[in-house]
A and B are shown apart, each in its own frame.
Chain A
Amino acid sequence: MGAAGAGRLARPPYRPGYAHVGWRAGTATTVAVLALASAPFFLAPYATTALTRMLIFALLAASLDLLVGITGLPSLGHAAYFGVGAYAAGWIAGHGTAAAPAPLLAAVAAGALMAVALGWVAVRSSGVFFLIITLALAEVVRQLAVSWEPVTGGSNGMYGIAATRVGGTALTNVAHLHWYVLFWFLVGLLVLWSLSASPFGATLRGIRDNEPRMRAVGYRPFRYKLAAFVAAGAVAGLAGGLLAAQQRLATPEDLGFTTSALALLAVVIGGSGTIWGPCLGAALVILVRDSFGPSLDGHGPLVLGLVFIVVVYAMPRGVAGVRWSRRRPQLRTKAG
């Protein structure tokens, strides 16, 4: 990328530069990671499993945020890369090796490759058109998963995926699985944060806020958008690989519209453009869907709908925007 151009944009105005904020954030991160890591010691297996699933979905939402919040590309088909990752990891675990990290590498590669192929078509459009073309492409991928029965298991999904093996031991204990997922969740999040904070991320924000201007100063937005799309696809693939490791099941639903929509909603609920906000949004969505949902006598969708409505009115900038004190309000352009 052009070093001069990147230098001009490396420090966006809303990025606080106080040293002590970094220190505080470092402490907060450490405590959060410790809390997540020690969760299996004081949570029952069911709650741990739910937390693990939240982490997986959070990684999916965070990867989508790279597109939605940072690059300004609202995708309604992000589950395609998530699901493809899950299938790829499952296939490698069954037909190659289940030894970590092989299934995850396969998942990342599959997510990235799929994103290269589809992103090359999709990133030419923007706004609502981008929303719909990503939806259409994801539906085609979902239909492939249903139709390509010898490989994917068709509509019944790929079930009985071999448990990931770490050092010769199968990963079936919920606590061990949680730590495995947490480790890769942090790796994935670190990748996203690094991208977001790098000059590359600054360029993406520039494209989001004013694409003609970026083009005028010599950038080629198409390449940057495609690169962001591929990076997001790769991390979504990683999340899919983690899903295959935890759930040991990959189904066409994992690629489908509902999963994509929930991921997008997690981003909006959590607060787009912050990477960590969508993680909280994802936790909320999964909490309602998987933990409260089954006990609501079938009224899970009703509660989810009410949550959306309340969030839109009560938390204009998502969960990440609540209690916002020291930072100056940032100007946000319409994401669409």
Chain B
Amino acid sequence: MSGSAINRRQLLGVLGAVGAGAAVGGCGSSVGEGDDGTSDGGGGEVKVGLVVPQAGVYAPLGTDMQRAWDLWLEREGDTFGDYTIATATADEGETPQTGVAAVQQLLQRDQVDILVGIVSSATALGVADMVNEAQKVLIIANAGANDITGAARSPYIWRTSFTNSQVAAPMGEHLSGTVATAYVIASDYAAGAEAIAGFRDGFTSGGGEVVGESNPPFGQTQDYQPFISQIQASGAEATFCFFAGAEAVAFVEQYAQFGLSSQIPLYGSGFLTEGGVLEAQGDAALGVQTTLHYSIELDNAANQEFRTAYEEKYGAAPTVYAVQTWDAANVLSRALRTATGLGGDAVGAALGSIGTIDDSPRGPWSFDGQSPRQAFYLRQVEQRGDALVNAVVSDLGESSQ
């Protein structure tokens, strides 16, 4: 009865699809135990899968991360311990749909031993099961969801970046000493909510009062006037915000355009003014204060050297995203010197015992529960020559996730 709807062409098509799948993935067999995911120690090649966004809104972060990874291999050599690094890169894209597929490709097709990268928290959380089952180490070089190394912790997933609340909390503590009331505003998504929660904790425990909150739709807001008017009406002494990328540019510009920056000073998590967005914001960003675990202005030898090398090679200033990836290469290099193998348990154990990383551009830091314990800096946007920089105002002390 339904016979006429199908014919030989369908068969050809299906065979074509199978053939294409084979061409993409190579042949072999999926039946059975699969590979055991461990190689023995004692040298050889280690395949590292670099998962960074090459298309979509996060592509600028991906570029910085890729550059830092390449720079490390160029300057420090591609030998980590007894292993020679071979890098396979995959495009994380914008969403977990592309990100998960990219990780799958690296783990299953390219058979990488270790994964590095991942910008999006949703992707990081989404690949956790796959990484666990493959028993490979994943070093996250950006994604900031608290759960990644918190509630959804896996022994194989480490992070050289930050947690969203960890970045915002020091700003709350700091501001509670200078103002009594603050308005909070963040994009209506998980990272924004975590940042606001972190800020609230720090601010209210220091005696401050949050007098209002807005959550502009994430990815759909170009005009912040409705929210800016509410900030103005709230009578708050300061505004704390969490925005990144295009939304950071739009918000900071419009905050200045509506004349608020001279009335109610703007504070935020450091991503607000980091990298390419600062250039786009231009003068509108002058005076904005943020907290972050890095600034290119940091005065330490490791940063000077890193910054000079990066600027020489790429003609652009490094960002926190580059530093996080640089440090991912750094911790991996240290871990592979002592690791007893390339399996997740061996590399994980080695990562857990590397102690303080004393030559990071961000200053010394160490793993505390698989996520960094590190110093946070209060930064202010200032003019330096014809460029804007996040000048370091003060060191707000170390904190953990």
A and B held together in a complex:
yes
- Which residues of A line the B interface, CB within 8 A? 15-17, 21-26, 28-29, 31-32, 35-36, 39-51, 53-54, 143, 146-147, 149, 154-157, 159-160, 172-175, 178, 190, 193-194, 196-197, 247-249, 251, 253-254, 258-259, 274-276, 279-280, 283-284, 287, 289-301, 319-320, 322-323
Q: Taking the nearest CB of chain A, how far is it from the CB of B189, in angstroms?
A: 4
Taking a contact as CB atoms under 8 Å apart, the answer to whether B7 and A293 are in contact is no
Q: List 4 A-B pairs, minimum CB-CB distance, nearest first.
A: A47-B25, A298-B54, A46-B108, A22-B3
Q: Mark B103-117, 1 if CB is under 8 A from A, else 0.
A: 011001100000000
Taking a contact as CB atoms under 8 Å apart, the answer to whether B9 and A300 are in contact is no
Give the CA-CA distance A226 to B188 in the complex, in Å. 34
Question: B54 — nearest CB in chain A belongs to which residue?
Answer: A298
Question: Which listed residue, B3, B20, B91, B95, touches A25 by the CB 8 Å rule?
Answer: B3
Q: Taking the nearest CB of chain B, how far is it from the CB of A316, in angstroms?
A: 16
Q: Which of B1, B90, B101 has the most CB of A within 10 A?
A: B101
Give the CA-CA distance A284 to B24 in the complex, in Å. 12
Taking a contact as CB atoms under 8 Å apart, the answer to whether B29 and A156 are in contact is no
Q: Taking the nearest CB of chain B, how far is it from the CB of A176, in angstroms?
A: 9
Taking a contact as CB atoms under 8 Å apart, the answer to whether A24 and B97 are in contact is no
Interface of chain B: mostly helix, strand, loop or mixed: helix
Taking a contact as CB atoms under 8 Å apart, the answer to whether A196 and B2 are in contact is yes
**Mind listing 22 A-B residue pairs with CB under 8 Å?**
A24-B7, A25-B7, A32-B10, A42-B29, A46-B109, A50-B24, A155-B218, A160-B128, A173-B30, A178-B30, A247-B126, A249-B129, A287-B20, A287-B21, A287-B24, A289-B97, A291-B21, A294-B90, A294-B101, A295-B90, A295-B91, A299-B55
Residues of A within 8 A of B20 (CB): 283, 287, 291
Question: Which listed residue, A15, A44, A197, touches B109 by the CB 8 Å rule?
Answer: A44
Question: Which listed residue, A28, A283, A323, touches B17 by the CB 8 Å rule?
Answer: A283
Q: Taking the nearest CB of chain A, how far is it from the CB of B24, in angstroms?
A: 4
Question: Which listed residue, B21, B25, B26, B98, touches A293 by the CB 8 Å rule?
Answer: B98
Question: B120 — nearest CB in chain A belongs to which residue?
Answer: A156
Taking a contact as CB atoms under 8 Å apart, the answer to whether B17 and A54 are in contact is yes
Taking a contact as CB atoms under 8 Å apart, the answer to whether B14 and A36 are in contact is yes
Give the CA-CA distance A172 to B30 in the complex, in Å. 12
Taking a contact as CB atoms under 8 Å apart, the answer to whether B30 and A44 are in contact is yes
Question: Which listed residue, B1, B9, B30, touches A48 by the CB 8 Å rule?
Answer: B30
**Cβ of B141 under 8 Å from chain A:** no
Question: Which listed residue, A16, A290, A322, touches B98 by the CB 8 Å rule?
Answer: A290
Question: Which listed residue, B30, B89, B108, B126, touches A157 by the CB 8 Å rule?
Answer: B126
Q: Taking the nearest CB of chain B, how far is it from the CB of A41, in angstroms?
A: 6
Residues of A within 8 A of B15 (CB): 32, 35
Residues of B within 8 A of A39 (CB): 18, 21
Question: Which listed residue, A26, A47, A156, A196, touches B190 by the CB 8 Å rule?
Answer: A156
Residues of A within 8 A of B26 (CB): 44, 46-47
**Cβ of B100 under 8 Å from chain A:** yes
Contacts beyond the supplied A283-B17, A294-B91: 16 A-B pairs with Cβ under 8 Å: A22-B3, A28-B7, A36-B14, A42-B27, A45-B34, A46-B25, A51-B21, A154-B193, A160-B152, A175-B32, A248-B129, A249-B125, A251-B97, A294-B102, A295-B91, A323-B9
Q: Taking the nearest CB of chain A, how far is it from the CB of B58, in angstroms?
A: 10
Residues of A within 8 A of B121 (CB): 156
Taking a contact as CB atoms under 8 Å apart, the answer to whether A15 and B97 are in contact is no
Given that A193-B2, A275-B5, A293-B91 are contacting pairs, would A43 and B30 also be in contact in the complex, using a CB cutoff of 8 Å?
Answer: yes
